Amino acid sequence: MQATMTRSRGRLVALAACLLALAATPPARGHESPVDHVDRDMAMWVADGRLFLSYRVQVSERMAMMQLNQADVNSDGKVSDAERRKYFETWQGALAKLLQLQMDGRAIAWTPVGEVAFDARLGQTYLFSAALPANLSEGAPWRLKDLFSRQYPGQYRYRQTPALAAGASPVICELEKNISDVGEEHPEIVVLVFKLPKTPAP
Protein backbone atom coordinates (compact mmCIF):
# COMPACT_ATOMS: atom_id res chain seq x y z
CA MET A 1 0.00 0.00 0.00
CA GLN A 2 2.98 2.24 0.56
CA ALA A 3 3.62 2.51 -3.17
CA THR A 4 0.26 4.04 -4.00
CA MET A 5 1.02 6.90 -1.67
CA THR A 6 4.49 7.71 -2.96
CA ARG A 7 3.78 10.15 -5.74
CA SER A 8 0.58 11.42 -4.23
CA ARG A 9 2.31 11.54 -0.86
CA GLY A 10 5.12 13.58 -2.34
CA ARG A 11 2.68 16.00 -3.79
CA LEU A 12 0.67 16.15 -0.55
CA VAL A 13 3.82 16.78 1.46
CA ALA A 14 4.72 19.51 -0.99
CA LEU A 15 1.24 20.97 -0.56
CA ALA A 16 1.48 20.90 3.23
CA ALA A 17 4.95 22.42 3.06
CA CYS A 18 3.73 25.02 0.60
CA LEU A 19 0.82 25.92 2.83
CA LEU A 20 3.21 26.81 5.56
CA ALA A 21 6.14 28.13 3.60
CA LEU A 22 4.29 30.34 1.20
CA ALA A 23 2.43 33.58 1.73
CA ALA A 24 1.12 35.12 4.89
CA THR A 25 -2.42 33.78 4.52
CA PRO A 26 -2.05 30.24 3.20
CA PRO A 27 -5.53 28.90 4.02
CA ALA A 28 -7.19 31.65 1.99
CA ARG A 29 -5.18 31.02 -1.14
CA GLY A 30 -7.46 28.48 -2.79
CA HIS A 31 -5.95 25.26 -1.35
CA GLU A 32 -8.14 23.10 0.89
CA SER A 33 -7.97 24.66 4.34
CA PRO A 34 -6.66 22.57 7.24
CA VAL A 35 -8.97 24.63 9.46
CA ASP A 36 -12.27 22.86 10.11
CA HIS A 37 -15.61 24.55 9.69
CA VAL A 38 -18.57 23.78 11.90
CA ASP A 39 -22.18 24.23 10.83
CA ARG A 40 -24.66 25.02 13.53
CA ASP A 41 -28.39 24.81 14.03
CA MET A 42 -30.15 26.40 17.01
CA ALA A 43 -33.52 26.84 18.55
CA MET A 44 -34.69 28.41 21.78
CA TRP A 45 -37.91 28.22 23.72
CA VAL A 46 -39.35 29.07 27.09
CA ALA A 47 -40.99 26.47 29.29
CA ASP A 48 -41.58 26.10 33.01
CA GLY A 49 -40.07 29.48 33.73
CA ARG A 50 -36.79 28.63 32.04
CA LEU A 51 -35.15 29.45 28.74
CA PHE A 52 -33.94 26.43 26.76
CA LEU A 53 -31.37 26.31 23.98
CA SER A 54 -30.93 23.38 21.61
CA TYR A 55 -27.55 23.78 19.97
CA ARG A 56 -26.58 21.34 17.26
CA VAL A 57 -23.16 21.40 15.62
CA GLN A 58 -22.31 19.41 12.53
CA VAL A 59 -18.60 18.68 12.45
CA SER A 60 -16.34 17.32 9.75
CA GLU A 61 -15.15 13.72 9.82
CA ARG A 62 -11.69 15.01 10.61
CA MET A 63 -12.87 17.07 13.56
CA ALA A 64 -14.97 14.19 14.91
CA MET A 65 -11.93 11.90 14.78
CA MET A 66 -9.76 14.49 16.54
CA GLN A 67 -12.32 14.72 19.34
CA LEU A 68 -12.50 10.96 19.72
CA ASN A 69 -8.72 10.80 19.75
CA GLN A 70 -8.72 13.25 22.65
CA ALA A 71 -11.45 11.28 24.41
CA ASP A 72 -9.46 8.04 24.12
CA VAL A 73 -7.54 8.76 27.29
CA ASN A 74 -5.96 5.32 27.62
CA SER A 75 -4.98 5.30 23.92
CA ASP A 76 -6.38 1.86 23.25
CA GLY A 77 -8.00 2.95 20.00
CA LYS A 78 -11.49 2.64 21.46
CA VAL A 79 -13.68 5.18 23.18
CA SER A 80 -15.44 3.54 26.09
CA ASP A 81 -18.76 4.83 27.33
CA ALA A 82 -17.02 6.32 30.35
CA GLU A 83 -14.40 8.06 28.21
CA ARG A 84 -17.05 9.36 25.85
CA ARG A 85 -19.24 10.69 28.66
CA LYS A 86 -16.36 12.35 30.43
CA TYR A 87 -14.99 14.04 27.33
CA PHE A 88 -18.30 15.36 26.02
CA GLU A 89 -19.49 16.38 29.50
CA THR A 90 -16.39 18.52 29.85
CA TRP A 91 -16.89 19.85 26.36
CA GLN A 92 -20.57 20.64 27.04
CA GLY A 93 -19.52 22.63 30.10
CA ALA A 94 -16.99 24.58 28.04
CA LEU A 95 -19.58 25.23 25.35
CA ALA A 96 -22.01 26.59 27.93
CA LYS A 97 -19.46 29.32 28.69
CA LEU A 98 -18.89 30.11 25.02
CA LEU A 99 -22.60 30.67 24.38
CA GLN A 100 -22.87 33.97 26.20
CA LEU A 101 -26.40 34.92 27.15
CA GLN A 102 -26.98 38.53 28.14
CA MET A 103 -29.96 40.63 29.15
CA ASP A 104 -29.53 44.32 29.75
CA GLY A 105 -25.80 43.72 29.94
CA ARG A 106 -26.25 41.04 32.63
CA ALA A 107 -24.65 37.69 31.93
CA ILE A 108 -26.97 34.74 32.48
CA ALA A 109 -25.38 31.33 32.91
CA TRP A 110 -26.46 28.27 30.97
CA THR A 111 -26.76 24.90 32.68
CA PRO A 112 -26.07 21.81 30.56
CA VAL A 113 -29.07 19.50 30.42
CA GLY A 114 -28.57 15.80 29.80
CA GLU A 115 -25.96 14.26 27.56
CA VAL A 116 -25.05 15.17 24.03
CA ALA A 117 -27.04 13.37 21.32
CA PHE A 118 -25.12 12.16 18.26
CA ASP A 119 -26.65 11.77 14.83
CA ALA A 120 -25.53 10.10 11.64
CA ARG A 121 -24.65 13.33 9.86
CA LEU A 122 -21.85 13.86 12.40
CA GLY A 123 -24.12 16.09 14.42
CA GLN A 124 -23.85 16.72 18.14
CA THR A 125 -26.89 18.24 19.81
CA TYR A 126 -26.49 19.87 23.20
CA LEU A 127 -29.28 21.13 25.40
CA PHE A 128 -28.90 23.98 27.86
CA SER A 129 -31.26 25.83 30.11
CA ALA A 130 -31.12 29.09 32.03
CA ALA A 131 -33.30 30.42 34.80
CA LEU A 132 -35.22 33.52 33.80
CA PRO A 133 -34.25 36.35 36.16
CA ALA A 134 -36.93 37.97 38.26
CA ASN A 135 -38.11 41.50 37.41
CA LEU A 136 -37.58 41.21 33.71
CA SER A 137 -38.03 44.45 31.78
CA GLU A 138 -40.93 43.95 29.43
CA GLY A 139 -39.63 43.68 25.90
CA ALA A 140 -36.00 44.12 26.89
CA PRO A 141 -33.68 42.66 24.22
CA TRP A 142 -31.65 39.57 24.98
CA ARG A 143 -28.50 38.64 23.19
CA LEU A 144 -26.83 35.31 22.59
CA LYS A 145 -23.22 35.62 21.50
CA ASP A 146 -21.92 32.39 20.07
CA LEU A 147 -18.21 32.62 20.74
CA PHE A 148 -17.79 29.08 19.44
CA SER A 149 -18.83 30.39 16.02
CA ARG A 150 -15.98 32.83 16.26
CA GLN A 151 -13.55 29.95 16.84
CA TYR A 152 -15.08 27.71 14.18
CA PRO A 153 -17.18 29.59 11.64
CA GLY A 154 -19.60 27.81 9.36
CA GLN A 155 -23.18 27.75 8.10
CA TYR A 156 -25.73 28.82 10.61
CA ARG A 157 -29.47 28.17 10.92
CA TYR A 158 -31.92 29.24 13.56
CA ARG A 159 -35.21 27.37 13.71
CA GLN A 160 -37.91 29.89 14.52
CA THR A 161 -40.62 27.25 14.93
CA PRO A 162 -39.15 24.05 16.29
CA ALA A 163 -41.36 21.15 17.32
CA LEU A 164 -42.03 21.73 21.01
CA ALA A 165 -43.86 20.04 23.86
CA ALA A 166 -47.19 21.49 24.96
CA GLY A 167 -46.79 24.59 27.08
CA ALA A 168 -43.48 25.66 25.56
CA SER A 169 -43.22 28.93 23.62
CA PRO A 170 -40.67 29.37 20.83
CA VAL A 171 -38.25 32.29 20.92
CA ILE A 172 -38.00 34.27 17.70
CA CYS A 173 -34.50 35.54 16.93
CA GLU A 174 -32.72 37.66 14.42
CA LEU A 175 -29.03 38.15 13.77
CA GLU A 176 -27.39 41.19 15.31
CA LYS A 177 -26.92 43.66 12.47
CA ASN A 178 -23.85 45.47 13.81
CA ILE A 179 -21.65 43.20 15.81
CA SER A 180 -19.24 46.01 16.58
CA ASP A 181 -22.01 47.60 18.65
CA VAL A 182 -21.72 44.66 21.02
CA GLY A 183 -17.96 44.71 21.19
CA GLU A 184 -17.34 42.06 18.60
CA GLU A 185 -15.29 42.33 15.46
CA HIS A 186 -14.93 38.86 13.99
CA PRO A 187 -17.01 38.84 10.81
CA GLU A 188 -18.14 35.24 11.23
CA ILE A 189 -19.43 35.43 14.80
CA VAL A 190 -23.12 34.63 15.32
CA VAL A 191 -24.88 37.04 17.65
CA LEU A 192 -28.61 36.61 18.06
CA VAL A 193 -30.99 39.25 19.32
CA PHE A 194 -34.37 38.29 20.68
CA LYS A 195 -37.15 39.15 23.07
CA LEU A 196 -38.82 36.60 25.26
CA PRO A 197 -42.32 35.52 24.29
CA LYS A 198 -44.86 37.89 25.83
CA THR A 199 -46.57 35.25 27.91
CA PRO A 200 -43.95 32.74 28.84
CA ALA A 201 -45.27 29.45 30.22
CA PRO A 202 -45.35 29.39 34.05
Residues found near other proteins in the complex (CB under 8 A): 1-4, 6-7, 9-10, 12-13, 15-16, 19-29, 32-36, 60-70, 72, 75-79, 84, 118-120, 122, 150-153, 185-188
Closest approach, Cβ 5 to other proteins, in A, equals 9
Q: Which is nearer to other proteins, 62 or 86 (CB)?
A: 62
The whole-angstrom separation of Cα 163 and Cα 168 is 10
Q: Between residues 28 and 163, which has the closer beta carbon with respect to other proteins?
A: 28
Q: Which lies closer to other proteins via its Cβ, residue 46 or residue 56? A: 56
Nearer to other proteins, 41 or 72 (CB): 72
Pairing of strands 173-175, 106-108: unpaired
> Taking Cα atoms as reference points, which of 128, 142, 158 lies closest to residue 39?
158
Shortest Cβ distance from residue 160 to other proteins (Å)?
Answer: 25
Distance, CA of 79 to chain centre? 22
The residues that bridge with 80 in the sheet, in sequence order, are none
Q: Which residues contact 138 (CB under 8 A, 6 or more apart)?
A: none
Nearest distance from residue 87's CB to other proteins, in Å?
9
> What length does the chain have?
202
The sign of the torsion formed by the CA atoms of 81, 86, 89, 95 equals: negative
Q: Report in angstroms how near the CB of residue 186 gets to other proteins at its nearest.
A: 5
